[in-house]
Amino acid sequence: MDMRIRDFAAGDAPLLTELYRRSVTELASRHYGPAQIAAWAALAPTAARFVELAGDGRRRLVAVDRSDRPLAFADLEPDGHIHFFYCAPERAGTGTAARLYAALEEVARQWGLSRLHVEASEAARRFFEKRGFAVTARRDFDLGGVAIHNYAAEKALAESGGAANFPA
């Protein structure tokens, strides 16, 4: 598989907005209804918001193809919260997200974090459970008048060393 993982660059922002929307509308539609998908897709950060968030202490990793086009991205906040984790629909099931997650977990270990936590969609829940996360609660909420849900999940990190396969 021809891909690498690198840190976010401001020029990625418009492509991440597009990738977020495509991931929600194409992948999440397997688990949520049309009104839920529309409400969720409407939350896609603008390019300016992606750039703004990148300056708040989080680490955003981007999996890119050989042309440096984003295939997936994930944000890790300093408290261990995984804020974003989205993959291009055509890359689902190819190992792209798994490699991105491994790199994100390595950042967490480098930061000395003892725990990761996430709010995972129906589709993402299984992905995170396969990586050792335990669901702690189903979260039912309202998104612009539309009922939707996700799952709070967390994972304790054991002590580990080793270098990551992406630039610091």
Tell whether 162 is covered by a domain.
no
pLDDT score of 1 = 57
Rounded Cα–Cα distance for residues 95 and 101 (Å): 10
pLDDT score of 29 = 87
Q: Find tokens 């055509």 and name the residue.
A: 90
Tell whether 61 is covered by a domain.
yes
Average the pLDDT over each of 105-114, 142-151, 156-165 and give the range with the smallest value. 156-165
Which tens digit of pLDDT belongs to each residue from 26-53?
998 889 999 999 999 999 999 999 999 9
Domain with 64 in it: 3-156
Which tens digit of pLDDT belongs to each residue from 59-97?
999 999 999 999 999 999 999 999 999 999 999 999 999
Terminal-residue alpha carbon distance, the chain: 22
Contact 23, 88 (CB under 8 A): yes
Tell whether 166 is covered by a domain.
no
Tell whether 122 is covered by a domain.
yes
Average pLDDT over the chain, rounded to an integer: 93
76 has which bridge partners? 59, 82
pLDDT score of 158 = 79
Smallest CA-to-CA distance from 85 within 159, 155, 3, 23 is with 23
Assign residue 32 the CATH number of its domain: 3.40.630.30
Tell whether 165 is covered by a domain.
no
pLDDT score of 168 = 40
Which tens digit of pLDDT belongs to each residue from 134-153?
999 999 999 989 999 999 99
pLDDT of residue 159 exceeding 70, the answer is: no
Average the pLDDT over each of 4-13, 88-97, 128-137, 155-164 and give the range with the smallest value. 155-164
Average the pLDDT over each of 88-92, 156-160, 161-165 and give the range with the smallest value. 161-165
- The number of folded domains in the chain is 1
- The CA-atom distances, in angstroms, between 76 and each of 48, 82, 141 are 19, 5, 23
Helix, strand, coil share of the chain (percent; to 5): 40, 30, 30
Rounded Cα–Cα distance for residues 86 and 74 (Å): 7
Overall average pLDDT of the 105-111 stretch:
97
Tell whether 17 is covered by a domain.
yes
Tell whether 150 is covered by a domain.
yes
Tell whether 148 is covered by a domain.
yes
